[in-house]
Amino acid sequence: MKTKLRDLATYYKPYLGLFLSDMFFAIVGAGITLVIPLLVRYITNHVINMPGEEAFTLIMKLGVAMIGLVLLEAFCNFYIAYYGHIMGAKIEHDMRNEIFGHFQKLSFAFYDNQKVGHLLSRITSDLFDISELLHHGPEDLSISVIKFVGAFSILAVVNWKLALVALIFVPFLIVYAIYFNRKMKQAFVNNRARIADINSQIEDSLSGIRVVKSFGNEETEMKKFKAGNARFVDAKKKSYQYMGAYNSGMNALTTMITVAVMVAGALLITGGEMPVGDLVTFLLYINNLTEPVKKLVNFTEQFQNGYSGYVRFQEMMSIAPDIQDRPGAICQEQVKGDIVFRDVSFRYEEHEEQVLSHVDLDVKAGEYIALVGSSGAGKTTLCSLIPRFYDVSDGAITLDGVDIRDICLDDLRKHVGIVQQDVYLFAGTIMENIRYGRPGATDEEVLRAAKLANAHEFIMNMEEDYDTDIGQRGVKLSGGQKQRLSIARVFLKNPPVLIFDEATSALDNESEKVVQDSLEKLAKNRTTFVIAHRLSTIRNAQRILVLTEDGIAEQGTHEELLAAGGVYAGLYQMQFK
């Protein structure tokens, strides 16, 4: 825990000046609250016994001084509330950049086992709680310690017997706090897990809202959500039970201090051991003695939230990207596109069976390769290894004779363009989505890419042509239109290696023809891998690879494979029977 808190403290470093000024004004404000009751004691014990005119003048001066102190305290409170929160927001900003950047480095293997809602909670609620702890934690602790120690020291000087009466209750406060702190810690961890589940459920349901409505399953989704929401309430009940016991017990104990001091003080006054003015001073300081305790009540909740959030933050940051540049990786800005698979094997997890086993393949620059085979044979997996979405388990893949693991990852992926069946378009305009292929491209280059992808005509018929907002994931476009935008994106990227992953399998015949023309145009003079279920779309491939569970079973042209009467011929006859 000490190590984690030390690591957490490093986030103050860029804002050390702001942090120190925040702490300075917090200390000044706490000091002022200790000074004012002393002035009141001086007035009640001494000034009121002076001659009238002298007392009046001194009271007015002390009154002005106290007003000045109150205004200074108000400024201190404003400073720590405003600039302290600004510091917290900046730290939250830095941590959010850090974890989002880390998410960008993690491979597909990581996202295969994660829910988006859980990841979203790491970036939002967790970081907010951490920033609240970093802002309020040090100042609340400092203010509490200064007020408690200062108030008790002054009370001990005023009347040590009465101070001891107040001190008797402190051990009970400490034991009570430690016990319920431990109880609340686990409860808050459970709360975070439940809210992450809810976020994931909401994201899943809203992302698939069209599927939900098409099956009329709104009630089913509502039941699933209510179940998760009920589990969240159950977890909250436990934490609130502990919190309620904590707050009520602490408030009762602090009130008992006031009662005990009143009774003991009254007895001392009646015995002539203490003036009434000192009891008034005691009652004023009791607030400074008990307020820190109440502030610590809030701090304990903040600490549990913030610390458990930071533990989750560190858990995520400690996941090392399993795909990253090797030491000494080279930059390869220009490539021809020769790709060789050397005895490549691959499995997704250590305990799983191999998806690809001892695959050897030599693809020349500019060659058009088609991959066919039954579902699960490893076609998409084989292509996913080229841009290193996953790394090979055994063997090696080379690009222009260089092991792809020895090429800078950014350079490698710049050389590979992918057109998938499930097109992902971002919320925004058509122009923004095409330009995603090369963010620095000019408008003219975007238009040229759209024309090459046979997309310019339908774009110009849109309400605001290239500035048309296409909605979340391009819901305002047809399947063929979305696919042509994704092709335009790759045209703009202009990579030497292409992967078409069943890019036309979800389209109608008319859209398929237009998209197929765009793909053929894009593939010209580029090393191209086409994954296809519709065999009619790959008749012109220079080489067709037939993948089975045993690897590459056959390869050749369309005519050669039909004449061989093997697996490909069987697939073809089945599809065109």
Pairing of strands 543-548, 394-399: unpaired
Contact yes or no for 53/61 (Cβ under 8 A) = no
Query: Exposed e or buried b for every residue in 435-444, given b needs 16+ CB within 10 A?
Result: bbbbeebeee
pLDDT tier at 509 (50, 70, 90 boundaries)?
low
| Alpha carbon separation from 281 to 27, 29, 39, 252, 271 (Å, rounded) | 22, 19, 9, 22, 18
Name the one residue in this structure whose structure tokens are 């939002």: 124
Helix (H, G, I), strand (E, B) or coil at 255: helix
What confidence category does residue 354 fall into, taking pLDDT thresholds of 50, 70 and 90?
A: confident
Give residue 59's identity as a one-letter amino acid code.
Answer: I
Which of these, 245, 237, 239, 15, lies nearest to 131 by C-alpha position?
A: 15
Q: State how far the Cα of 363 lies from the Cα of 550, in Å rounded to an integer.
A: 20
Mean pLDDT across the stretch 529-553? 80
Q: What is the pLDDT of residue 507?
A: 61
Q: What average pLDDT does this structure show over 205-233?
A: 77
Domain with CATH 1.20.1560.10 in the chain: 82-317
Task: Give me the pLDDT at residue 52, please.
Answer: 76
Residue 17 one-letter amino acid: G
Sheet with 356-363, strands from edge to edge, namely 356-363, 339-346, 394-399, 402-403
- C-alpha of 159 from chain center: 54
pLDDT, position 272: 82
Does the pLDDT of residue 506 top 60, yes or no? no
- In tens, the pLDDT along 156-167 reads 888 888 888 888
**Model confidence at 511: pLDDT above 70:** no
- Give the pLDDT of residue 67: 92
Do 418 and 355 form a contact (C-beta atoms < 8 A)?
Answer: no
Cα angle value 504/509/512 (rounded, 5°): 30
Q: Where in the chain is the domain with CATH 3.40.50.300?
A: 336-415+536-577
Question: Does the pLDDT value for residue 328 go beyond 90?
Answer: no
Which pLDDT score, from 0 to 100, does residue 466 have? 85
- 351: pLDDT strictly greater than 70: no
Q: Judge residue 122's burial from the number of C-beta atoms within 10 Å of its C-beta, 0-12 exposed, 13-18 middle, 19 or more buried.
A: buried
Output the pLDDT for position 79: 93
- 8 Å CB contact between 461 and 481: no
Query: What confidence score (pLDDT) does residue 372 get?
Result: 85
Q: For the beta carbon of residue 383, count every other beta carbon within 10 angstroms.
A: 21
How far apart, in whole angstroms, are the C-alpha atoms of residue 570 and residue 23? 78
Residue 505: which pLDDT band, with cuts at 50, 70 and 90? low
Residue among 461, 503, 506 at smallest CA distance from 486: 503
The CATH architecture assigned to 82-317 reads Up-down Bundle (1.20)
pTM for the structure as a whole: 0.69
Give the residue carrying structure tokens 């056959």: 554
Higher pLDDT among residues 424 and 1, named by residue: 424
**C-alpha gyration radius of the chain:** 35
Of the candidate CATH numbers 3.40.50.300, 3.40.470.10, 3.10.20.600, 3.30.470.30, the domain formed by 336-415+536-577 belongs to 3.40.50.300
392-402 average pLDDT score: 90
pLDDT at 64: 92
Strand 402-403 relative to strand 339-346, pairing:
unpaired
pLDDT of 25 > 90? The answer is yes
Non-local (6+) Cβ contacts of 133 within 8 A are 302, 303, 305, 306, 307, 309, 310
pLDDT above 70 (res 504): no
CB 192 within 8 A of CB 312: yes
User: CB–CB of 369/547 below 8 Å?
Assistant: no
Place of tokens 């549990």: 304
- In this prediction, residues 180-208 reach a mean pLDDT of 75
How far is residue 361's CA from residue 378's CA, in Å, rounded to a whole number?
14
Q: Which two tokens stand for residue 546?
A: 């037939």
* pLDDT tens digits, 442-485: 988 888 888 888 888 888 888 888 888 887 777 778 877 888 88
Q: Residue 126 burial (CB < 10 Å; 0-12/13-18/19+)?
A: buried
Sign of CA dihedral 509, 511, 514, 515: negative
**What confidence tier does 21 reach under pLDDT thresholds 50, 70, 90?**
very high
Average pLDDT over the chain, rounded to whole?
83
Whole-number pLDDT of residue 212: 74
Contact status, residue 256 vs residue 286, Cβ threshold 8 Å? no
- For residue 430, the model assigns a pLDDT of 87
Among 126-135, 278-287, 452-461, the minimum mean pLDDT is found in 278-287
